[in-house]
Structure 1
Amino acid sequence: MIHILERPEQLDPLMDALCSQPPLTLDQRLDLLEAWREAIVADDAAINVPGALFLNLWLRRSNLQSVLKRELGAEELTGGWSDAEGVKTRWFPVGVVAHWPAGNIEIQPILSLTTAFLGGNRSVVRVSPSLLRSVEPLLAVLDRFEGGQEILSRSLFVSFDRQAQSIHSRMASLVDGAMIWGGHEAVMNLRSLPFPPLAKLAVFGPRYSAVLMDAGAWAEEKVRTAWCRRLARDLWPFEQQACSSPQPIFVQRSESLDEQLILDSLQEALEREAAIHPREQLDPALTSEIVRSRARWLMADPEHAARFPSTPEWTLLIGEGYELVKGGRILTLQFVDQLEDALKRLDRNAQTLGLAMADREEALRIAEQAGCQGIDRIVPVGRMHVYDSPWDGHPLVCSMMRQVRFIAG
């Protein structure tokens, strides 16, 4: 199902076969994605791929219908044209979409593909060699339900070395749009490929996420415990390598509350999550980086403190500043007098703001300020990884579609 490429010319016959497939109706596409979701849930190997539960939420027919209605309008769900003052408009696919998912998020090739498929596009997906073992079980289930081949015939999965520039270039030259995910170097390299002049690009570059907690959210033990456990659950998926993974935490001080209360609750939540989902393996280089991060933090400032177990399972750093270590399960916690102070410390690379707030009016004010500052997602803590549209400021489906204007003569 995944073609291993060594030369650029191997792409040509595969792309010819892909482009020969006829279009599917929207109802057919929704039915196929719902059937794929059910097949993943029913298969032990597929549902145990890291992140598969988030894929399950994304592929629900009701969720995808909501996304389409929000992005394209209610008329699109019935296959009709929108009509406003005699001008009709309708969304159509761009054609063939190339996908370059990041190499560290197991379900991202499928998330990216299904977004374009939902818009009626055919896709060619480059799967990083490091993700082959994770993606294969998700594709294998397509053989187990009627219609699975309809998805496969419109989806070309390829894998090749990231240094194979000639294959990257050939792939880019043959498509009408592209969805690019990854770090700074990867994104800059892919954006320089020889795409056709009219190709549409949606770029999801390197970002990080933060958490804001107001004083009301940790005033009572029961509420404090719930928020901390939700935060710990957001830390664990994707080994903290996703752009939506929390890293710095900003907690509003309260004169009536001992700061140790929130630290104790968060430590309990992290210990609890580690017991439920212990690390199965850890790269030695990452272990060394975690240890160095702990040491750097404690040596940098006598006011700094830290809590962590004897293993590299998780780390909580307390004080001014923060350490960004992808995959380290490292949280930095700072106390602030006002949450606006916290926003000022975030740059435009911040993607998601997880809110743990008792004051809803204050939450709305914070959201407006965060939006002006460049943050694209503001969600409750516990939902930081839920894939939905828009993402990174992009409407996911219509970013790979064209809006056609029709005026009757």
Structure 2
Amino acid sequence: MIPLPPDIALAQQVVLGDPARLTNRPAPVWDPARMALLADLSRTLLAMPAARALPDVVTFAYWARAAHLKALSREAAHPDPPRVGLGLVFHICPSNVPVNVAFSMAFGLLAGNTGVLRLPSADSPTITALVDGLAAVLARPEHAALAEALLLVRYARNDAVNAVWSARADGRVVWGGDATVQHMRGFPMPPRAREVSFPDRYSLCSLKAEAVLALDDAGLEALCGQLYADVYIMEQAACSSPQLIAWVGDAETVTQAQARLWPAFAAHVKGRHPLAPIRAMDKFVAACDSALAEDVRAVHRHGNTLYRVDLAGLRPEQESCRGYAGTLHEVVLDSLDALAPIVTDRYQTLTTFGHPRDDLARFVTAHGLRGIDRVVPVGQALDMGVIWDGYDIIGSLSRVIDIR
């Protein structure tokens, strides 16, 4: 039991779990009982009609399948010495990507920790589905013992609650913007505690024009589906969602590739991603604002589904150039190397199509880049792994026991 002052207990709403049963005892990493709980959660979510209607929840459910978790555990296996969790980990979960509540919880459990998760203040269909699924799983006798390892709470901005949980935590995971990360660092933790933080990041995509032109119709449709997954599932709210499309090739080849890809992509998106009227209006106003910049040559609209902001060149602070719900900025480059001068530590994911792997490896190593932690094919921008933002999350949230 981890005692809380009465005023703190009253200041938070317990969504799931029992504070009186909470423990800070660590478990081994990749504990079979915890993997079984997550696998059961996967099956439960995929059987819930409300959950199956939510692409982000389905993405997590497939990630948490038993076979995938076993594969991850084999890839991350530490043969010796043994690893166990830190104890209690306090999670500040993001509001813009609510499914990360599930991923943060899973990482903490798989690392052998008890998790106290502060949910976003506003409810959402994603959070509701995840909580309902988790409640159903924890109610089963085979998982009852793990009820003491999870507590989901919700509270309005309250520094006193943040301070109490931080003071009791052996680890802290902070998802949010730079301001959230800096704010949480104002709350002291025990001397041996660790923090894993995920501040603002920027991601981009590079397409080799000649490779797009070389596709047959089936290949083009596949590329559209992959790009759709990267851009629209999270409406570009995820830190790994591409904001910039960097075409590589001469101007004529790029123009031909754009003329082939974008009409096909807009047709692929149409009907798959309905846009609420208020979102459509906000998107249009933002595009009009973008059009006023001197380096914007044009804003191309493919209905309400897709806007393309044509840039004359890369900006020194390109990471401030963002869109959402299908607003992509575009630039034409002679080579991938032209990206290097703008890459800062804010850059996270580079999705690519048509670039040889050796060229990508040389690009990220030869230029001494301070950013870009992931280079993945188009279609895998949102594929969550135990390596994220350059962190080995399981390793960061666990400790090694040196036995000689």
CA deviations 1:165-210 (Å, max 9, x no partner) are: 1111111111111111101111110121121121111111110110
Does 1:244 find its partner at 2:240? yes
Distance 2:104 2:329 in 1: 31
Give yes or no for the alignment of 1:168 onto 2:168.
no
**More deviation, 384-393/227-236:** 227-236
Matched, 1:18 2:22: yes
- The one-letter amino acid paired with 2:272 is I
Identity across aligned pairs (percent)? Answer: 22
Answer yes or no: is the 8 Å Cα contact 1:267–1:307 preserved in 2.
no
Check conservation: 1:50, 1:106, Cα contact below 8 A. Answer: no
1:306 aligns with 2:302: no
1:280 Cα deviation from its structure 2 partner = 4.2
Q: Relative to 1, partners in 2 of residues 1:350 and 1:21: Cα closer, same or farther, differing over 3 Å?
A: closer
Deviations 1:104-129 (A, max 9, x none): 11211111011111122111000012
2:67 is paired with a residue whose SS is helix
Matched, 1:278 2:274: yes
CA distance in 1, matches of 2:169, 2:296: 54
Moved more, 223-232 or 332-341: 223-232
Provide the rounded CA distance (Å) in 2 between the counterparts of 1:155 and 1:326: 36
The verdict on how the C-alpha distance between 1:67 and 1:386 changes in structure 2, with shifts beyond 3 A counting, is: same
Is contact 1:233-1:273 (8 Å) kept?
no
- C-alpha distance in structure 2 between counterparts of 1:282 and 1:6, whole Å: 42
Equivalent AA in structure 2 for residue 249 of structure 1: I
- Provide Cα deviations, 1:65-105, integer angstroms capped at 9, x if missing partner: 333333342x3xxxxxx2xxxxxx21011011111011111
Match of 1:331 in 2: 328
Structure 1 position 354 matched with structure 2 position 354: no
Matched residues in 2 for 1:242 and 1:376: separation?
15
Moved more, 331-340 or 207-216: 207-216
1:200/1:216 Cα in 2 relative to 1: closer, same or farther (>3 Å)?
same
Q: 1:22 to 1:295 in 2, by over 3 A?
A: closer
Structure 1 residues 258 and 107, CA gap change in structure 2 (3 angstroms) = closer
User: Is residue 186 of structure 2 the alignment partner of residue 192 of structure 1?
Assistant: yes
Counterpart mapping for 1:313-392 below 5 A: 313-319=305-311, 320-321=313-314, 324-325=321-322, 327-369=324-366, 372-392=369-389
1:197-235 CA-to-partner distances (Å, cap 9, x unmatched) read 211111111101101112332232424553344223210
In the alignment, is the contact (CA less than 8 A) between 1:104 and 1:131 conserved in 2? no
Task: Report the Cα offset of residue 399 of structure 1.
Answer: 1.2
8 Å contact kept, 1:209–1:243: yes
Does the C-alpha gap of structure 1 residues 346 and 21 become closer, same or farther in structure 2, counting only changes over 3 Å?
closer
Native 8 Å contact 1:142 1:149 kept in 2: no
Q: Name the CA distance, whole Å, in 2 between partners of 1:240 and 1:154.
A: 33
The equivalences for 1:54-73 within 5 A come to: 54-73=59-78
- In structure 2, the residue matched to 1:128 is 120
**TM-score in terms of structure 2 length:** 0.86
Unaligned 5+ runs, structure 1? 76-81, 83-88
How far apart are 1:132 and its partner, in Å? 5.1
Structure 1 residues 166 and 258, CA, compared in 2 at 3 Å: closer, same or farther?
A: closer
The alignment's C-alpha RMSD in Å is: 2.8
Are 2:98 and 1:98 aligned? no
> Which has the higher mean CA deviation after the structures are superposed, 43-52 or 190-199?
43-52
Q: Select between 53-62 and 174-183 the one with higher mean Cα deviation.
A: 53-62
Match of 2:108 among 105, 116, 124: 116
Please, what TM-score do these two structures have when normalized by structure 1? 0.85
Rounded Cα–Cα distance in structure 1 between residues aligned with 2:7 and 2:58: 36
Aligned residue pairs, count:
385
Supply the distance in 2 between the matched residues of 1:218 and 1:331 (Cα, whole angstroms). 17
Structure 2: distance between partners of 1:184 and 1:176: 22
